């Protein structure tokens, strides 16, 4: 049976040793087959990815985007630095592609960080997941999976759900093509976003405000862990030009 245990920690405001914290909080509990789901913002905080807005000097394009979308030009500047491209925007938000994944404001967040600062995405979430997994294997002798998650809006849906931005040790997207359904029909396009499913389940416990629960320990996943399986943002993503929502809206790519 699948079980999820929230891991509460004290708030962090600066760079810290994430692996040491994991060891302290859940290291002794870990078993083979467990999956540790960790907030991307918590990982980013451990990497020191906090930026003081007072030190950001917006350029001409950032100022133009800010005027068009009623935003802080310093936020726009950071979005331009962090993203592959800006697709569009509405008042208060830019829709950006970051390593193939669509996300408002390139994942830059002002919540759970000191006033006057923002927190970015981790530098390489899949590398962070691998480092954590390998460290726990070395120190505890256990084979675990690690998922780095974020919260995300979905088209036409109210509220946020969880989405994986990096993982190591699990088959994060399971290809179901060729399998048959209950009525014998052969699946032709279906893949199961396992890491996203785990992220959404964990987000129920992590919350979005003052829960102070940046990690969730998942036990009982009935899928084999795979040592060499790593996913970063680009491996999770489909090309923007192939996305069913964007194609339906007439998106044709470009800069």
Looking up residue 37, the CATH number of its domain turns out to be 3.30.1330.100
Same domain, 125 and 173: yes
More confident residue, 250 or 199: 199
pLDDT at 13: 80
Task: Answer with the one of 70, 89, 120 that is the final residue of a domain.
Answer: 120
Same domain, 138 and 199: yes
254 pLDDT band (50/70/90 cuts)?
low
Beta bridge partners of 118: 51
- The 10s digit of each residue's pLDDT in 184-227 is 888 887 888 999 999 999 999 998 777 889 999 999 987 778 77
Burial group, residue 34, by CB count within 10 angstroms (0-12, 13-18, 19+): buried
Same domain, 5 and 60: no
Mean pLDDT of 32-55: 96
Beta bridge partners of 5: 217
Dihedral pair phi/psi, residue 97, rounded to 5°: -105, 120
Same domain, 24 and 149: yes
More confident residue, 80 or 207: 80
* Number of domain units in the chain: 2
Same domain, 200 and 79: no
Q: Are strands 101-104 and 50-52 parallel, antiparallel or unpaired?
A: unpaired
Same domain, 215 and 129: yes
Task: Answer with the one of 92, 120, 148 that is the final residue of a domain.
Answer: 120
Range of the domain at 110: 50-120
Same domain, 10 and 127: yes
Give dist(CA 97, CA 215) in Å, integer: 26
Task: Answer with the one of 90, 120, 150 that is the final residue of a domain.
Answer: 120
Q: What is the DSSP letter of 84?
A: S
Give dist(CA 228, CA 169) in Å, integer: 6
pTM across the whole model: 0.92
Give dist(CA 153, CA 151) in Å, integer: 7
Helix (H) or strand (E) holding 142: none
Same domain, 152 and 223: yes
Does 243 fall in a domain?
A: no
Does 246 fall in a domain?
A: no
Same domain, 17 and 28: yes
Coil vs helix vs strand at 230? strand
Contact between 126 and 167 (Cβ < 8 Å)? yes
Give dist(CA 66, CA 77) in Å, integer: 9
Does 245 fall in a domain?
A: no
Same domain, 35 and 74: no
Mean pLDDT of 97-124: 91
């Amino acid at each position: 049976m699948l079980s999820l245990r929230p891991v509460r920690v004290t708030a962090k405001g600066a760079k810290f040793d994430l692996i040491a914290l994991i060891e302290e909080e859940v290291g002794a509990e870990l078993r083979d087959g467990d999956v540790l789901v960790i907030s991307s913002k918590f990982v980013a905080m451990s990497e020191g990815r906090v930026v003081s807005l007072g030190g950001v000097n917006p350029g001409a394009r950032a100022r133009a985007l800010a005027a068009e979308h009623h935003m802080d030009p310093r936020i726009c500047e950071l979005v331009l630095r962090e993203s592959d491209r800006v697709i569009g925007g509405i008042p208060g938000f830019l829709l950006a592609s970051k390593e193939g994944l669509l996300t408002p404001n390139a994942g830059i967040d002002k919540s759970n960080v000191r006033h006057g600062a923002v927190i970015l995405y981790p530098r390489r979430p899949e590398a962070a997941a691998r480092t954590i997994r390998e460290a726990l294997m070395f120190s505890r002798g256990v084979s675990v999976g690690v998922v780095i998650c974020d919260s995300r809006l979905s088209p036409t849906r109210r509220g946020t759900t969880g989405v994986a931005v990096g993982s190591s040790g699990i088959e994060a997207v399971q290809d179901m093509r060729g399998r048959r359904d209950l009525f014998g029909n052969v699946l032709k396009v279906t893949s199961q976003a396992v890491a996203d499913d785990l992220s959404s389940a964990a987000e129920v416990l992590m919350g979005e405000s003052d829960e102070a629960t940046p990690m969730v320990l998942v036990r009982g996943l009935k899928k084999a862990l795979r040592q060499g399986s790593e996913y970063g943002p680009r491996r999770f993503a489909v090309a923007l030009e192939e996305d069913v929502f964007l194609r339906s809206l007439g998106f044709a790519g470009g800069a």
